Amino acid sequence: MEKRTARHTKKNFWQLIDSLAIRLIIAVFILLIMTQSLFLLFPHSGKYLNTALRLEGEPITAHELAYYAGSISSAPWATINLKLAGYTSLPEAKILINGREVASFEKCEVTITVKHRDQIAVKNSDSDQVITVFVNKKTPNIERPLVNSSVSGRGVLYLDSVIVK
């Protein structure tokens, strides 16, 4: 009789473990579904749980995204090499793109990165000196300015606006 009771007790013990395990799995499943439904109801609450999103800042709105996308060139890269004629170096001559200084003629050649519709200008601080700048090389995706096109004069000299294919 004692053997039957021991077997019966072992059987009841394993049935108890089985039922507890099933109940635990069901409880975890229900908790998971409730958590997911909360994230569906409040979609922006997920950023508080993600450290990377919290550290990066606020997401870009559709309006801001459209604004930034308008300034991105469809071409992956576009560079122009400008060469100064008659000088080996002229550091006071600055290269401006859209009015912002990006380089100077520390050497007689300078390569700059440009986008579609950028306005390239060369500002010569010494207004008494006549300088000549010409486009020495360019990437094939640039239609204008043309290779070997040049500007000459005093003060601020403007090349053609950049047209990228």
Per-residue pLDDT for 10 more than 60? yes
Per-residue pLDDT for 149 more than 80? yes
CB 85 within 8 A of CB 117: no
Q: Name residue, tokens 């507890």.
A: 20
Which pLDDT value is given to residue 45?
A: 74
Model confidence, pTM: 0.53
The tens digit of pLDDT for each residue in 78-115 reads: 899 999 888 888 888 899 999 899 999 888 899 999 98
Q: What's the rounded Cα separation, in Å, for the pair 155 and 70?
A: 32
